Amino acid sequence: MFQRVALIVLDSVGVGAMPDWAAFGDPEPGDTLGHLASRRPLALPNLCRLGLANIRPFDYLMPAGAPLASYGRCALASPGKDTTTGHWELAGVILDRPFPLYPQGFPLEILDEFRARTGRGVLGNKPASGTEIIKELGEEHLRTGDLIVYTSADSVFQIAAHEETVPLDELYRCCGMAREILRGPHEVGRVIARPFVGAPGSFVRTANRHDYAVAPPPDMLLDRLSGAGVPVVSVGKIADVFLNRGVSQSYKTKSNEEGMWCTLEALNAHSEGLIFVNLVDFDMLFGHRNDPEGYSCALEQTDQWVPALLDSLRDDDLLIFTADHGCDPTTASTDHTREYVPLLAYSPGLRGGVDLGTRASLADIGQTVAENFGVKLEQGESFLEAMRPARTGPPAK
């Protein structure tokens, strides 16, 4: 039905708490977009033309009378609220058990092996905000050379180190060692390198973060597409999340701005296949730092990019906007929030305005992409046929 699909993950842009939010440690119901919209009017005219405000009511955001896109929201069926869980579910993998969490820190047997293999000591070993823990322990790290190890409410083993104390290649090797150690019952979703620079009192994390994800199960979306000869282009951290499985080309990015530019470049360079994008700043820079104004500005900057994105599409393209979880910057916590995520599906060659309702899982998106390219996933219900037939007139942009 479509020669190209651009699947864009607005990382952490949730649209309201799921009923089971309390079971996942949220201190209050998360509503990332709703709470941001209630703080001040958001200038999101282009996303609203697509149908963002038709998904549900938002303060100051007007629903479109004739949305350009089909619209709805997706529940997260897997037990979790993290990057790996959300992206795997997008690819058709619904977990039956959550990745392990470490609210009391990692067990000694894990840290003892990590120390022995890396030759460095460990500081921290507790859940923490990444910016706060380098404020707390960065000076001691500079003095001792010990690695700062911490986790969060997500299944992550994070290693922070100053780039002048621990060179990047060594930090990356240490992360690889941790990934090898964290197997079996301790197989966390991601090991993450968190390098920083600066002096005590002014430490700053750099863009040289690197994720070491656990391998996804076989036959997820990217495997199926690759096996069918369908090109898969990654923009942002998608390739890291899926360990490059099924990825034919990868655009590495360090910001939303770079990710948006690379998406346009990918659309210009690739005439078919899946272009799978993650725009990470919402989560990394603003959600986890409880910065609602920064988050709001990032949404508005993305909205300003949407017209250029739409102008890059052909009649046989499908554009899907969604998210992987929430990260409400207005709550007391800096952790992800268990939320529904938006679903906007637009093509210049389709009439919009179809209410796709509440989808049972993010896997519905993966199944839709799979069906379009002639393959099938084990999980998810496609909404490809629910979208209306082709317009009779020129596309509205």
Is pLDDT above 50 for 392?
no
Question: What number is the average pLDDT over the span 289-317?
Answer: 97
Paired with 124 in beta bridges are 149
- Which superfamily does CATH assign the domain made up of 4-98+215-386 to? Alkaline Phosphatase, subunit A (3.40.720.10)
Question: What number is the average pLDDT over the span 308-336?
Answer: 96
Give, for 6, the enclosing helix (H) or strand (E): strand 4-10
| Least confident span in 8-17, 335-344, 383-392 | 383-392
Q: What is the per-residue pLDDT for 388? A: 67
Confidence of residue 390 (pLDDT cuts 50, 70, 90): very low
Question: What number is the average pLDDT over the span 58-79?
Answer: 97
% of the chain surpassing 90 pLDDT: 91
Is pLDDT above 80 for 90?
yes
DSSP code per residue over 171-215 = HHHHHHHHHHHS-GGG--SEEEEEEEES-TT--EE-S--EEEEPP
Q: What is the per-residue pLDDT for 139? A: 97
Segments making up each domain of the chain, as ranges? 4-98+215-386, 108-213
Question: What number is the average pLDDT over the span 4-23?
Answer: 98
Q: What is the per-residue pLDDT for 391? A: 47
User: Residue holding tokens 């207005």?
Assistant: 330
Is pLDDT above 50 for 73?
yes
Is pLDDT above 80 for 394?
no
Tokens of residue 339, six digits: 């939320």
- Which superfamily does CATH assign the domain made up of 108-213 to? Phosphopentomutase (3.30.70.1250)
Confidence of residue 395 (pLDDT cuts 50, 70, 90): very low
Question: What number is the average pLDDT over the span 72-82?
Answer: 96
| Least confident span in 19-23, 232-236, 331-335 | 331-335
Is pLDDT above 90 for 345?
yes
Q: Are 267 and 6 in contact (CB under 8 A)?
A: yes
User: Residue holding tokens 């049972």?
Assistant: 360
Is pLDDT above 50 for 147?
yes
Q: What is the per-residue pLDDT for 109? A: 96
Q: What is the per-residue pLDDT for 198? A: 97
Rounded CA separation 273/123 (Å) = 45
Q: What is the per-residue pLDDT for 154? A: 84
Is pLDDT above 80 for 205?
yes
Confidence of residue 6 (pLDDT cuts 50, 70, 90): very high
Is pLDDT above 90 for 312?
yes
Question: How far is C-alpha 166 from the geometric centre of its chain's CA atoms?
Answer: 28
Question: What number is the average pLDDT over the span 30-53?
Answer: 98
Is pLDDT above 50 for 389?
yes
Tens-digit pLDDT profile for residues 120-136: 999 999 999 899 999 99
